[in-house]
Structure 1
């Protein structure tokens, strides 16, 4: 799996490269200090996952995430974030980010998030999730937001879909959900698609945020 690191702090890039170098199946194929540099790199290099800092000069991580997803929709973007970036996190979600990593996360958490993003799944750190929910509430009066989860979900979803949704909320992969509910991975994937359609959501990230708002 090929990784590109986009962060304006050389210390952060070096730390991530050191962590990722411990895993044989992961290769860091490039690093950049801002979004514009990243887009130039992607003209000649390919990647499966980009680790994207939010605050960078020239072009920040939010704008760069949108540009990457528009030009290279198959590339997964994981946002590198800190605790004081509520609105940035939410905008990253809207821009197509596949997940979030706190900059002080353990190496195990970082690898799990990268593997989940590569497989089309999501491992959302609970602390980051709470920030997303906070930002969503604060911005809901300014822009459209997902439908209110205060409506009884049992009116929208079947009992089996509810079970699957709760498993997704825990950050489990389709494979793990299938093992827990005795379903095939393909069946779980279909359930997740139906759930997103019914709730008018576009990603697992939005589904987790949606469920986190329940009273």
Structure 2
């Protein structure tokens, strides 16, 4: 469990962004402030989780689309295993699917990369205090998406308790949707995820199932009684 920082203690932060210039800039920007301590920086989602497990920071400043694991997946893992770590998304993506997916996964705050230093530090301080901060663009997108989000739902898909090939439940769910003839945009819309995230999931599904294409993946799903 992460200990709450004392008033005199700096906030311990992990920065995760796959763009080296952005990541290094954020480390420099925050590291110069006396009430922040950067305990690690990661170029992808998997390393971000490893750094959080190692350092138990107060907060993570997290890009949304990264290699290995994207920001939404990292957020889910952090909420499940490190619930005391405040999650602040900092990304260029501000479409309704990305915003809703991140907030539903458990992100506390969501900013775009044109946010000022003051806005970023305010979001980090607020998030560690349990408060949510949304950038102006994010608030606008969220309001516009309210009606659509009200009708979005997780598909009711039966899955066996033990999944083949090391598939995660999300990957198996997407594989079943592929087998049912759904396109990538269909799947993204139904799961309220970005097309980029769906493509990443499908690439991992192909790798784990040894499938060169969707037809082979559907055959795998049928051979393993997923559909």
TM-score bracket, normalised by the shorter chain, equals 0.5 to 0.7
Question: 1:98 Cα shift?
Answer: 0.7
The answer to whether the 8 Å contact 1:69/1:96 transfers is: yes
Which 5+ residue runs of structure 2 have no aligned equivalent?
A: 1-10, 155-227
Cα distance in 2, alignment partners of residues 45 and 83 from structure 1: 28
> Could you report, residue by residue, the CA deviation over 1:116-145 in whole angstroms, capped at 9, with x for unpaired residues?
10111122222211112333432322328x
Instruction: Give the equivalent residue in structure 2 for 1:35.
Output: 45
- Structure 1 runs of 4+ with >4 Å offset: none
Calculate the TM-score normalised by the size of structure 1. Answer: 0.63
1:122 lines up with 2:135 in the alignment:
no
Instruction: Give the equivalent residue in structure 2 for 1:131.
Output: 141
Cα distance in 1, alignment partners of residues 88 and 141 from structure 2: 16
SS of equivalent to 1:113: helix
SS of equivalent to 1:120: coil
Instruction: Give the equivalent residue in structure 2 for 1:68.
Output: 78
Instruction: Give the equivalent residue in structure 1 for 2:65.
Output: 55
Question: 1:48 Cα shift?
Answer: 0.3
Moved more, 66-75 or 81-90: 81-90
Moved more, 14-23 or 48-57: 14-23
Work out the number of aligned pairs and report it. 144
Which structure 2 residues correspond to residues 68-87 of structure 1 after superposition, within 5 A? 68-87=78-97
> Could you report, residue by residue, the CA deviation over 1:45-101 in whole angstroms, capped at 9, with x for unpaired residues?
110000111001111000000001100000000011225432111111001111012
Instruction: Give the equivalent residue in structure 2 for 1:211.
Output: none
Instruction: Give the equivalent residue in structure 1 for 2:24.
Output: 14
The answer to whether the 8 Å contact 2:94/2:112 transfers is: no
Instruction: Give the equivalent residue in structure 1 for 2:175.
Output: none
The answer to whether the 8 Å contact 2:64/2:93 transfers is: no
Calculate the TM-score normalised by the size of structure 2. Answer: 0.60
C-alpha RMSD of the superposition: 1.6
The answer to whether the 8 Å contact 1:2/1:49 transfers is: yes
Which 5+ residue runs of structure 1 have no aligned equivalent?
A: 145-215
Cα distance in 1, alignment partners of residues 77 and 89 from structure 2: 14
Cα distance in 1, alignment partners of residues 63 and 115 from structure 2: 14
The answer to whether the 8 Å contact 1:83/1:128 transfers is: no
Cα distance in 2, alignment partners of residues 143 and 136 from structure 1: 13
Question: 1:40 Cα shift?
Answer: 1.9
SS of equivalent to 1:28: strand
1:105 lines up with 2:123 in the alignment:
no
